[in-house]
Amino acid sequence: MQEENKEHREEKDSGRYFKIKKFPLIMGGFLLIFLTAGITTVALTFGDEKVQSIAPSQYPQFEKLYSTYDTIKKEYYQEVDDEKLVNGAIAGMLEGLEDPYSTYMDQEEAKSFNESISSSFEGIGAEIQEQDGKIMVVSPIKGSPAEKAGVKPNDIITSVDGKSIEGLSSTEAVLKIRGEKGTKVELTISREGEAKPVSITIVRDTIPVETVYSEMLDDGIAKIAVTSFSEHTVDELNTALDEMSKKDMKGLILDLRGNPGGLLPEAIKMASIFVPKGEIVLQIEDRNGNKEIHKSENNGEFKLPVVVLIDDGSASASEIVAAAVSESANIPLIGVKSFGKGTVQNAQDFKDGSNFKFTSYKWLTPEGNWIHKKGIKPDIEVKLPDYASLPYISPDEALKVSDASAEVKAAENMLKELGYNPGTVDTVFDEQTKAAVEKFQQDHKLKVTGILEDKTTVTLMQELRDKILKNDTQVKRAVKELKKEMK
């Protein structure tokens, strides 16, 4: 790992040299450290002349590879593209690791990946990862089209625009999901607890990488939500803290729910605001058990009571912060168990713009705990209301009298929670359900049809979302705990 007070350093690795850029990151639920090759990595550019100069006696394990390449070049029934063969060989080598976080990205995929850490990009706004051959949502970005459409952490995306994406890498899936602002993409999602897949149509938009949102609650309690860790996140947080201080902040709720990760230096700097100077923030462990310890850079600037909110969409960098403040600063965690991502990947760029990432380390909490696939359990477990987990209903689908489906049941549950009586909550759209829809349409100045579709569906889901925000049980418990400390 790089030293924080240097721009970069040279690191020797099996005869290969790399410059480590000073922006390691945890993205999409995994930690990355970008590497730029100072010299071509000979063992990975087979197909290049340098590879041909490697003596088989020195690398006998490559004999089968060379033999296969030569046979295909000479005897395959049609001309082959050398670049495709090389790319496929690299991808295959990484697939052989049987690690979903070790993948090869061609130029287009690498470009898309790099765009995802820029100031903005166009897409739906959701972090995804490949897990056991399936594409899983880590977390939708706050305020994104994905979040507004009802995409949730742990959703499994099975198809994009009617085409299966099973077996694709996360980068391949991103290329299919991402697109120009204003265009639509249809996702088919498998969700735990749902009997059949859910179809969600999302209009892509520009996704700004704005990461900190603050508001002052009652009694001098500030709530600051951090949605990811980008280059200026800690600066944004410090600005928010200053603004809240001017409003006489007496306590802080740091909301890391739905935060899928980001830049490692930002996570360390953020944790350092709350962890006493010299205390451990995290540990990095290599394959031989050697550990590198990162300690707080705290200057003692924050002294008010703090609680931290986490959920199943809190991953990687947000888990590092949560574990650090919990174990090294005794700050309570409230919510539900976090995602659980505890491995570290290095991403190396090739000269042609492609790259690959591979798992190289574990990260451990200050006390040496490995949270991978386990997550972090909150000190105080608080779940959101059941209606916060109601499934998405597609506005493109018209629900009307005599229809029977899981979507009808979800709609009836929504209507009931918003104070409209749909009768018995079941899967059947009957006359009483129609009457409830008509009343909802009338109250919201929508065209009264008794049919749930288009603007009616969108408004219904937005109203429910607003109710979830107003009745946030996790925030309410955080306020209660803070008041104990503020007395």
pLDDT tens, position by position, for the chain (487 residues)?
332 332 222 222 322 222 233 333 343 333 333 322 222 222 333 333 333 444 455 678 788 888 999 999 999 999 999 988 988 999 899 989 988 878 888 888 787 766 655 556 788 988 888 877 889 998 888 788 998 888 988 899 999 999 999 888 887 888 899 888 999 999 999 988 777 888 899 999 988 777 899 999 999 999 999 988 888 899 999 999 999 999 999 999 999 999 988 788 899 999 999 999 999 999 999 999 999 999 998 866 788 999 999 999 999 899 999 999 999 999 999 999 999 999 877 788 888 888 888 888 899 999 999 999 999 999 999 999 999 989 888 888 899 999 999 999 999 999 999 999 999 999 999 999 999 999 999 999 999 999 999 999 989 999 999 999 899 999 999 999 999 998 7
* Architecture of domain 387-470 in this structure: Orthogonal Bundle (1.10)
Tell me the catalytic residues: 316, 327, 341
Q: Rounded to the nearest 5°, which phi and psi values hold at 411?
A: -65, -40
Query: In a 3-state reduction of DSSP, which class is residue 313?
Result: coil
- DSSP collapsed to 3 states, 403-424: CECHHHHHHHHHHHHCCCCCCC
C-alpha distances in angstroms, 459 versus 90, 384, 456, 486?
48, 21, 5, 39
pLDDT at res. 305: 97
Q: For the chain, give every residue range classified as CATH 1.10.101.10.
A: 387-470
Q: For the chain, give every residue range classified as CATH 2.30.42.10.
A: 123-208
Assign domain 123-208 to a CATH class. mainly beta
The stretches of 168-316 forming alpha helices (DSSP H) are: 170-177, 233-246, 264-274
Please provide the DSSP assignment of 456-486 as one string: HHHHHHHHHHHHHHHT-HHHHHHHHHHHHHH
Radius of gyration of the chain (CA): 25
pLDDT at res. 237: 96
Q: Which residue has the tokens 């999409």?
A: 28
Q: Which residue has the tokens 């200050």?
A: 366
**Which CATH number is associated with domain 212-341+366-384?**
3.90.226.10
Q: For the chain, give every residue range classified as CATH 3.90.226.10.
A: 212-341+366-384
Q: Which residue has the tokens 């061609």?
A: 106
**Strands, DSSP E only, in 24-177?**
25-27, 30-37, 103-105, 120-123, 126-131, 134-140, 156-160, 163-164
> Residue 416: what residue type?
K
Query: In a 3-state reduction of DSSP, which class is residue 389?
Result: helix
pLDDT at res. 478: 98
